[in-house]
Structure 1
Amino acid sequence: MDFVDMSDGELEDTVIGHAGQLAAQTCTFLDALREFDTRGAWNGVNIRSCAQWLSWKTGLSRRTAQDQLRVAHALADLPHLHDAFAHGRLSYSKVRAVSRVATADSEPELVDIALSSTAEQVERLCRGLRTINRRGAPDAAPADFTARWNWDDDGTLRVSMRLNPVDGARFLAGVVRSDYERTRTIDDPDVPAPPESPELPGSPGDSGLPTDLWRNVPSNIAPAVIAMSDIACDMIDVPETAPGAEVLIVEDSATGDAHIDDGPPLDTHERDEARCDAIVRAVRVQQGAVLAWGRRRRTPSPAQIRAVFMRDRCCTMPGCGRTRFLHVHHVAFWSHGGATDLDNLVLLCGEHHRRLHRDEFSIVPTAPQQFEFHTAAGDLIEVAPPIAAEPRFRPDRTTAPAAILPNWGGEKLDLSYATDVLTHIWALRAREKAADTTPAEAMAA
C-alpha cells in the first residue's frame, strides 16, 4: 500500500483503522494464547512456562510475555471488557489497566469509563482503585518491594527503588551507618556513643513520631550506597561462577580503550581509578591468559570461567536465559576425551545440565566457540524462531474503521470524584446482592 499519495485525512483514517484492527486481532491472539496455556501445549524439553515459550517463539521480552498471559486469562472472566476489546473499541493499554482491578461486578462501569477516557486517564484511575482496594482490605498482602536499574545513554547507572515501610527504614538505617563509616576520620572512636533519645512532639505521653526521625540521612545517598556496596563486596565471598558479583573491566591492550563488561565505556580517569580498586578484575584483550588447558586439567581455571561467562552470559539452551546456579559444561565430555578449552565449554543451568546427561537433547559444535542444540530426534532447536503469519490470517472486516476512537472530549480526570462514585456504586450493588433488595430499599438502608 502506497501511503505517499494519500491525503492527510485518508492517512489519518488509515492509522486509526489499523489501530482498531490491531486491538481486535490482539484480542484474538490473547484468546488463542489462553487456550494454548490451558492445554499446556507449550511443554517441551527446554521450556518451564508459557511465558518463556511465548518470549522465545515470538520475540517478546519475558516481562511483556508474562503481562500478555495475565491479561489473556483475566479476559476469560470479564465479558464486557472482552467484547469491547474484540470489536477494536479498546486498546491493549486500556484493557491491560482495567484487567488489573476489574471484577465481574465492577467491569461494566470501568469499561464505560475506558471507552470515554484516554489510556493515561484509565491507568491513573486503575492505580487509584488499586490503592483503595489495598487499604480497604482487612487482610491485604504486604506491598511488593522492587528495584529497577538501567544504564543511561551518558554511561551513568540509574536506579529506582520501591520498598515497604520496614525495609525502607532498614535501608535508610544502612545508609546512615554507611555514611558514618565513609566520613569517619582518624579522631573518631571505633564505636560511636549511643544517640540521645529524640524528643517526641507534644506532651511526654504523646505517641507521635519524632520530628527529626530521619535527620541523619544525607540528602544525597549515592556515596553511602556505594559504601554499602563496597562493604558487601569485601565481606561476602561468592563462587567463581557468580556473574555480576564482581566488577569486570574489559580493556583493549592495543588501544587502551576500556568499558564495564556488558556496560558503558570508561574515560581515562575512570579506567585509572578502576585499576587501583581492589575489587576490580581487569580483563585485557590479548592479555595472553591461559584459556586452553587441553587434557592437562579437567576443572576450568578462574580465567576460563570468567571468559565463558562474558561470552555466554546465561544458560545457552535456546529459550532458557537463566543467569544463576550455572554450570560450565564440557560439550565433548571429559570422560570421552574432551578438552578443557573455550571451544569445548558452555554454560548450562542445573536443570538443562541434567537433561543433557539424560540424552533429552544434544550440543553440536559448529565453529570455534559456536554451538547448535538438537532435540533427541535430531531436530535443530532454534535460538530465535522466525515469526511468520499463516496464510489464513486476514484482518477482521467486522471491526469498524473508527472503533478505537474514544468518546473523550478533552476533559480532565477528577480522580477523587471518579473513585468515590465508582466505589459508591459498587458498595450499593454489594448491599443489593447481600440483602436481595431493590435499589431504592438498599439506598434507604
Structure 2
Amino acid sequence: MTVVSLDSVGGAKDSSEVAGASLFDDTPIGDLSDDQLRDRVVGYAGQLAAMTARFLQLLVAFDDRHGWSGEGIRSCAHWLSWRVGMSLRTAQDHVRVAHALAELPVLQEAFGQGRVTYSKVRALTRVATPDREQQLLNFALSATAEQVERLVKSMRDIDRGQGDGVTELIESSGRWEWKLDGSLRVSLRLSPLDGARFLAAVVRSEYERTRIAGDDDVPLNALHAPDENGEPKAPDAEAPDADLHEQRDLWRGVPTDIAPAVVAMADTLHTAVEIPETAPGAEILVHTHAKDWEDIDDQPIATDPHLDHGPVLADVEVEEASCAAVLREVRSNRKGAVLKYGRKRRVPTAALIRIVTMRDQGCAHPGCGRTRHLHVHHVVPWGQQGSTEPDNLILLCSTHHRALHRGEFGIKALGKQRFSFHRPSGSVIDIAPDTHAPGGWEPDQSIDPYAPAPVGGGRLKLGYATEVLYAIWALKADAADATEHTEEPIAA
C-alpha cells in the first residue's frame, strides 16, 4: 500500500487543534463552518464506534445468559429485532460480531477506543484469529473500510485454497433411532459433494424459513451489484471483480443449529409430495386417547398418545400435531385390532387459509414476520368448541406455534379479527416497544476526536498486502513450533 499523508488531501489534522473546542456543544448546525461540521462528523463517528464496542460486549453477556428467552422469542437476534428495532439481518450480524470479538482482545480494545469502525470490525471478524488480529488491526488502521472488505474477501479465498486434498473417496451414510427420552437422533456422514448439497439445501431452507415481509425471491443474478434502479445487473466481463464488494447478501451462511432448517425441509416435502391414501411411514400416525367407546369387547387400549411404532407424545405435542396439520388418528383394542383408522384431514379449508394469509401476511407474533412454513392456529381450540372462522384463526410460524402450545405465551381473540399476545403472567406483549435515548449521556473525552480516521492511506496493492501478512503469520507459526520443540524434555 502506498502511504499518503492525510494532511495533503485535507484529511486528519492534529487532534490538539480540535481538543480545545467542544465537539458536543449545542451550536445550531446552520452556524457551524465546513471545518467544524467535518470535525464533529468524525468526532461523533469515534464516539459511535466506542459505544458500539461497549454495546457488543453487553450483547455477548446478554446472549450467553439467555436474557432474551421467553414469550416466544426464538433467539437473541429476534429479540433485538423486536425490542431494539433492528432488522433481523442486522441483528444477526451484530450477534455474530459480538461473539467473535469476545475471542479477539486486541481488536476489541481498538474498537473500544474508537480507532476502528463497526464496518471494519464486521469484516475483520470473518477472518481474524488471536494469532492474526494484531497484523489485521495494523492494516485496518491505515486502510478504508472498502479496502478492508477487499482484503478479507481475498483472505477467505486464500484460506479455502490452503486445505488438504481428499485422499480417498467417502461414501455417504446415515443412521437414525428413537431415544428413550422420545427424541429422534439422526447421524450423517456425507461425502464432500453430498455434504455441500446438504448444506446448500439447509441455507436455502433457512432463508425460506426466516423470510419476512419485504424479502424478495432470489433472482438468478442476485450475486451481482444492483444498477441505478435497484435491479440486479449482469456482470461486467471486462472487470469481473470490480463490483464484488457491492454484492447483496441475500443468503446468510449455514446456521449453527441446522435442526429448524432440516425440519422445514421435511415440512416442505411432506406438504408438496402427494402420497397414496394409505402410506405407512410417509405420513404422521398418532395413536390417541380412547374416549366415548361403549362396546366392552372392542374397548380400546387406554394408552398414552404415541406415534406409530414411536415414542409417547405429550398432550401439548398432540395438540400441536392436530392444529392445522395433516395426520391420522388411529385407535386399537387390547387385542391389537384397529377399530378406527381416521381420514387424513387438514383444517381449515383452503379458502379460509387464503383469507387469514392475506390478513396476517406472515407470522403474527410480535417482532417475527416470517412468511414461510406458517401454521393456521385455532386461538380457541377446535376441540373446545372453537370456531373455524377468521375471528378465531391466526398465522404462526412453526417456532412460535410450538412455543404457544408449550405455554411460553398466550393469545386472546378480541373479536373482529383482532388478537392480543400475552406473557404467562398475563401482561400484554407489545407489538413494537418504544425506544428512547438514555438521559444524562456524556461523551467519552478519552476518545481521540480523529480516532476513526485512517493513518496513512493510499491505493491498496492487494497481492502485496496478502503476501506480507501471510509471510508474517508463517514466521510466527515457525517460531511457535521452534519454541514448542525447545521446551520438550530430552529423553535419557
TM-score by length of 1: 0.62
1:372 matched to which residue of 2? Answer: 420
1:41 matched to which residue of 2? Answer: 67
Query: Per the alignment, in what secondary structure is the counterpart of residue 382 of structure 1?
Result: coil
Higher relative contact order, structure no. (Cα contacts within 8 Å, ≥ 6 residues apart) = 2
Q: Which amino acid aligns with 1:302?
A: A
Q: Give yes or no for contact 2:409–2:421 (8 Å, CA) kept in 1.
A: yes
Question: Displacement of 1:338 after TM fit?
Answer: 3.0
Q: Which of 462, 486, 490 is matched with 1:415 structurally?
A: 462
2:357 matched to which residue of 1? Answer: 309
Query: Per the alignment, in what secondary structure is the counterpart of residue 410 of structure 2?
Result: strand
C-alpha distance in structure 2 between counterparts of 1:369 and 1:362, whole Å? 16
Question: Displacement of 1:354 after TM fit?
Answer: 4.2
Question: Displacement of 1:367 after TM fit?
Answer: 5.1
Q: Which amino acid aligns with 1:27?
A: A
C-alpha distance in structure 1 between counterparts of 2:217 and 2:380, whole Å? 42
CA 1:331–1:238: 2 relative to 1, 3 Å: farther
Question: Displacement of 1:79 after TM fit?
Answer: 1.6
C-alpha distance in structure 2 between counterparts of 1:37 and 1:360, whole Å? 19
Q: Deviations over 1:16-41 (max 9, x none)?
A: 11111111100010000011111121
How do residues 20-419 of structure 1 correspond to structure 2 at under 5 angstroms?
20-138=46-164, 145=200, 158-160=219-221, 237=273, 299-366=347-414, 368-391=416-439, 393-409=441-457, 411-419=458-466
Query: Per the alignment, in what secondary structure is the counterpart of residue 31 of structure 2?
Result: coil
1:176 matched to which residue of 2? Answer: none
Q: Which amino acid aligns with 1:113?
A: F
Q: Which amino acid aligns with 2:154?
A: G
Q: Give yes or no for contact 1:298–1:340 (8 Å, CA) kept in 2.
A: no
Q: Verify: 1:425 aligned to 2:477, yes or no.
A: no
TM-score by length of 2: 0.56
C-alpha distance in structure 1 between counterparts of 2:406 and 2:64, whole Å? 28
Q: Which amino acid aligns with 2:421?
A: F
C-alpha distance in structure 2 between counterparts of 1:139 and 1:70, whole Å? 29
* Structure 1 residue ranges without an equivalent (≥5): 163-235, 240-296, 439-445
1:252 matched to which residue of 2? Answer: none
Percent identity over paired residues: 49
Question: Displacement of 1:139 after TM fit?
Answer: 6.9
Q: Deviations over 1:277-324 (max 9, x none)?
A: xxxxxxxxxxxxxxxxxxxx9942211101211222322222344444
* Structure 2 residue ranges without an equivalent (≥5): 1-25, 167-191, 224-271, 276-344, 486-492
CA 1:308–1:23: 2 relative to 1, 3 Å: same
C-alpha distance in structure 1 between counterparts of 2:431 and 2:447, whole Å? 36
RMSD: 3.4
CA 1:437–1:43: 2 relative to 1, 3 Å: closer
C-alpha distance in structure 2 between counterparts of 1:111 and 1:75, whole Å? 13
Question: Displacement of 1:325 after TM fit?
Answer: 3.8
Q: Which amino acid aligns with 2:71?
A: V
Q: Give yes or no for contact 1:46–1:319 (8 Å, CA) kept in 2.
A: no
Question: Displacement of 1:89 after TM fit?
Answer: 0.9
CA 1:12–1:346: 2 relative to 1, 3 Å: same
Q: Give yes or no for contact 1:118–1:408 (8 Å, CA) kept in 2.
A: no
Q: Give yes or no for contact 2:72–2:409 (8 Å, CA) kept in 1.
A: no
C-alpha distance in structure 1 between counterparts of 2:401 and 2:113, whole Å? 47
Q: Give yes or no for contact 1:89–1:404 (8 Å, CA) kept in 2.
A: yes
Query: Per the alignment, in what secondary structure is the counterpart of residue 138 of structure 1?
Result: coil
CA 1:117–1:104: 2 relative to 1, 3 Å: same
Q: Verify: 1:18 aligned to 2:26, yes or no.
A: no
Q: Give yes or no for contact 1:25–1:395 (8 Å, CA) kept in 2.
A: no
C-alpha distance in structure 1 between counterparts of 2:132 and 2:436, whole Å? 38
Question: Displacement of 1:355 after TM fit?
Answer: 4.0
C-alpha distance in structure 2 between counterparts of 1:45 and 1:157, whole Å? 32
Question: Displacement of 1:327 after TM fit?
Answer: 2.2
C-alpha distance in structure 1 between counterparts of 2:346 and 2:160, whole Å? 55
Q: Which amino acid aligns with 2:130?
A: A
